[in-house]
Structure 1
Amino acid sequence: MSAADRHPLRDLAWPVVRTAQIAVVLCGVAASMAGSLVRHAGRGRRERILRDAGAVVSAALWRLGPAFIKVGQMLSSRRDLFAAAFCEELESGLARGRAGGAEEGVEIGSVASVERHLVGGVDAAVKTIHPTAAERLRVDLGLITAMTGIAGALLRRSGPTLRHVVHEMCASVRRQTDLVAEAAALRRLEDLELVLPVVFPRVLDDASGPDVLTMTWLPGQAGGRRFADPRRTAKRLVLTLYEMLFVNGVVHCDLHPGNWWELPDGRLAIVDAGFTYELDDEMRTHFAEFFLGMSSGNAEVCATHALAAAAQPVSPEHEKAFRRDMEHLIGSITGLTAGSFSLTGFAARFFAVQRRHRAFSRAEFIFPLMALLAIEGQVKQLDPGINFQSLAGPVVLRSIVARARAGR
């Protein structure tokens, strides 16, 4: 919505209406939770109450719209801040969505639409943001930030971290309406095509700008998702994400089935770079060293880099206990076979250790884990025995050596 199209009364009315809508939904959440507490009153029912809370909150976020859904999806990965049972229900309840990759001429999402057109003789995908999307996101994300401020005041232990995390997440959601930023991300991701059998849409600069993003159209998989060699596909998807995390630095945080598929020649087509996150050199180093330590069974390295990525300093007592618990955690996964290792299970236990010792991670450290968790289920369906740890080693080492040579 341009400044010329905005009307003062409408600018005032929409936040008031949205606040009223949110208040109604929150009252429904409170009533549902009160009912759950009554039904499950008594000892030993805490997990059932947490799961009910996750289901109720998920349903409420769906009613409130895309901004709330996206923030909820990201918060579902923050098991360092919330109980695991609550996060599991939140993740399950918000993991809905239409799988894409089909040969269709129009894709309509909650924030933007993509239409297939012939542009200058090129088969192109033309992406435009819905006329009211940016304004609605601005209002909704502002309200989410305000609500988080209230919640943070009530949570003395994790309140400051929660506010910072939600601020980062809201900024990421808001960037989904920035087509110039998405075009820049696509250009950076093109570098992956030099080292991996993947393909990204090419930005057509002459037909793109702040209000429209025109890209080459990538053929989908008419008739459903098919993979000539599922194990090969799984490996390629994991290596692509590792290359993003440890080398390229631009991480696609939304690799659900609608945003990637396999082309007839075996390459992976990856689209929709609206929800990406760029890791700076410092955070990329911390995450790479942490992952290398995890793969090699070096708990001391894992603990050191996890603490370096903490949102706030940890007391000496908590640091000592944190390192001790990390020793147990890393020791428990060292030597596990590929089929026995669960990235989701490891992340849940790692977040529990963080929460126990108040070593809350900066949001920048969580986005890579969130991207990995987004693909783990899909990858294990393709290849149940895939070894996430061994695949990471060579990419991590290559990234560390490259940064050392560059003097970073």
Structure 2
Amino acid sequence: MNEANQCLGESIAQTLERLGPVFLKLGQIVSHRSDLLPEDLLRPLRRIQDQVGPERFEISRATLERTFNRQTGELFSAFEAKPIAAGSIATVYRAKRCDGREVAVKIVRQDAARILTMDLRIGAWLAGFVANLKAFKALPIAECYSEIEALFVAQLNMHMEASNLEAMQEDNFIQRHVNIPSVHADLVGPDVLVMDFVDNAVSISADHIETTIYKQAAQSVLAVLYRMAFETGFVHCDMHPGNLLLDESCEVWLLDGGFFAHFSERDRLCFQDLFLGLAFGEPDRCCDSLVGSAITIPQSLDREALRSDVNRLIETHHSKRAGSFLVAAFVYDLFTLQKRHGLYARSSFVAAIWAFVTFEGIVRDRFPELDFQGEAKPFVVSRIIKSMRTR
């Protein structure tokens, strides 16, 4: 173990905590990218997935009682002062309702909105600075950041998170693959969300989980991601190990419905055709998608040159498994290609890219043979068949 890397990793984690929610999210994604940074440095970063310094219990209790205009003892028969998890937006406590049900109580930090506002301003400045660097000119950083801003702000609204969790519970496909904790609708406010407590569960990335069980869980989560991206357009963008648990029955639990994005029909078609063209090695389909999704089409567009570049893109990334297929690298190459041909697409599908990059970091080392493209084919083909039937 390299102690210097470990100390650096802890210093980075503490700095990200002080900087706020936007930077913590970036840290959560990077914490599982051992292809980018040494494992000894990354290990301390994984703490910030759900173990950020918590808010003082007295402040959380005041928020809870102010939200429902009742004393904590009236709402719960027992309430543990020590939090079970803490993030940059909220602190989570374990409690028991008066009818005996065990629950998790998520309470937004008192100064979360103020810190997030400052954080987003800093992030906007940094996005503008990075966008002007030569190495990143190809990326629509400013446009993507504006969308990410909206996702972060939505996390402050516990009513919206409750709605997101309930929507996942109503989806039979999602329920067959992962479990979603039930929301206690009578105890939901703008700053408080109460849901069922998931007992005796561990992070999906825990070292002691058997490889076979881990792979089955990973495939279930990936299926849910594809269901969201290709079929419902309702995408969970925060699938890091702090939000993915395995219980004693080896069933997967998906927590936290705050960081969600909604795809339009056009966004889904764009994402679908790009992925389908890559998965089946079809440059014409990818070309049509790029042209069709562009904000404007240059009069000087050379379609033969575009097809040639797309074909090279497919040759580089087609049919690779998780150990060698990098979603982030594919996206960068794609944006570079778009810039070269003046095809600037809408950046609303950045949320799905974020979700897949996060998930990719979890499985890359432990499940390198996972076939991202192959697993997507049934969803995309099914969607195409459905669209043909409605014509």
Same fold, judged at TM 0.5 (above): yes
- Which residue of the partner structure matches residue 193 of structure 2? 213
After superposition, residues 249-328 of structure 1 pair within 5 angstroms as 249-310=233-294, 313-314=297-298, 316-317=300-301, 320-328=304-312
Once residues 75 and 359 of structure 1 are traced to their aligned partners in structure 2, the CA distance between those partners, rounded to angstroms, is: 28
- Which residue of the partner structure matches residue 351 of structure 2? 367
Among 184, 208, 223, the residue aligned to 2:163 = 184
Q: TM-score if structure 1 supplies the norm length?
A: 0.70
Once residues 98 and 304 of structure 2 are traced to their aligned partners in structure 1, the CA distance between those partners, rounded to angstroms, is: 63
After superposition, residues 113-192 of structure 1 pair within 5 angstroms as 113-121=91-99, 122-145=101-124, 161-192=140-171
Are the equivalent residues in 1 in contact too, given 2:144–2:350 (CA < 8 A)?
A: no
Once residues 354 and 75 of structure 1 are traced to their aligned partners in structure 2, the CA distance between those partners, rounded to angstroms, is: 25
Moved more, 307-316 or 297-306: 307-316
Q: How far did 1:375 drift?
A: 1.2
After superposition, residues 395-406 of structure 1 pair within 5 angstroms as 395-405=379-389
Once residues 95 and 118 of structure 1 are traced to their aligned partners in structure 2, the CA distance between those partners, rounded to angstroms, is: 32
Q: How far did 1:353 drift?
A: 2.4
Once residues 329 and 141 of structure 1 are traced to their aligned partners in structure 2, the CA distance between those partners, rounded to angstroms, is: 34
Q: How far did 1:107 drift?
A: 1.0
Among 69, 75, 96, the residue aligned to 2:45 = 96
Amino acid at match of 1:369: I
- Which residue of the partner structure matches residue 48 of structure 1? none
Are the equivalent residues in 2 in contact too, given 1:259–1:271 (CA < 8 A)?
A: yes
**Which whole-Å deviations, capped at 9, do the CAs of 1:29-72 have from their partners, x for residues lacking one?**
xxxxxxxxxxxxxxxxxxxxxxxxxx9xx899737612440575
Secondary structure, aligned partner of 2:155:
helix
Amino acid at match of 1:131: Q
Q: How far did 1:265 drift?
A: 2.4
Question: Structure 2 vs 1, CA of residues 371 and 67 (structure 1 numbering), >3 Å: closer, same or farther?
Answer: same
Moved more, 250-259 or 192-201: 192-201
Amino acid at match of 2:84: V
Question: Structure 2 vs 1, CA of residues 74 and 353 (structure 1 numbering), >3 Å: closer, same or farther?
Answer: farther
**Higher share of residues assigned helix:** 1
Are the equivalent residues in 2 in contact too, given 1:183–1:213 (CA < 8 A)?
A: yes
Q: How far did 1:316 drift?
A: 3.1
- Which residue of the partner structure matches residue 25 of structure 1? none
Secondary structure, aligned partner of 1:125:
strand
Q: How far did 1:116 drift?
A: 1.2
Are the equivalent residues in 2 in contact too, given 1:59–1:93 (CA < 8 A)?
A: no
Secondary structure, aligned partner of 2:301:
helix
Amino acid at match of 1:165: C
Secondary structure, aligned partner of 1:330:
helix
Moved more, 123-132 or 159-168: 159-168
- Which residue of the partner structure matches residue 39 of structure 1? none
Once residues 294 and 190 of structure 2 are traced to their aligned partners in structure 1, the CA distance between those partners, rounded to angstroms, is: 36
Are the equivalent residues in 2 in contact too, given 1:70–1:173 (CA < 8 A)?
A: no
Secondary structure, aligned partner of 1:206:
strand
Unaligned runs of 5+ in 2: 1-8, 52-81
Among 216, 239, 248, the residue aligned to 2:223 = 239
Amino acid at match of 1:209: G
Q: How far did 1:199 drift?
A: 0.4
May I ask how many residue pairs the two structures share in their alignment?
Answer: 336
Are the equivalent residues in 1 in contact too, given 2:139–2:332 (CA < 8 A)?
A: no
**Which whole-Å deviations, capped at 9, do the CAs of 1:170-221 have from their partners, x for residues lacking one?**
1111111111111111112124454533101111111112121111112243
Among 345, 367, 375, the residue aligned to 1:383 = 367
Amino acid at match of 2:250: G
**Which whole-Å deviations, capped at 9, do the CAs of 1:123-174 have from their partners, x for residues lacking one?**
111111101111221233245446656777899x959943322211111111
Q: TM-score if structure 2 supplies the norm length?
A: 0.73
Among 204, 222, 228, the residue aligned to 2:184 = 204
Q: How far did 1:400 drift?
A: 3.0
Say whether residues 1:107 and 2:85 are aligned partners: yes
Once residues 94 and 304 of structure 1 are traced to their aligned partners in structure 2, the CA distance between those partners, rounded to angstroms, is: 43
- Which residue of the partner structure matches residue 19 of structure 1? none
- Which residue of the partner structure matches residue 66 of structure 1? 20
Amino acid at match of 1:107: A
Percent identity of equivalent pairs:
26
Secondary structure, aligned partner of 2:186:
helix
Once residues 154 and 268 of structure 2 are traced to their aligned partners in structure 1, the CA distance between those partners, rounded to angstroms, is: 21
Amino acid at match of 2:188: S
Question: Structure 2 vs 1, CA of residues 292 and 363 (structure 1 numbering), >3 Å: closer, same or farther?
Answer: same
Unaligned runs of 5+ in 1: 1-54, 77-86
Moved more, 359-368 or 146-155: 146-155
Amino acid at match of 2:336: A
Greater relative contact order structure (CA < 8 Å, 6+ sep): 1
Secondary structure, aligned partner of 2:368:
coil
Question: Structure 2 vs 1, CA of residues 283 and 133 (structure 1 numbering), >3 Å: closer, same or farther?
Answer: same
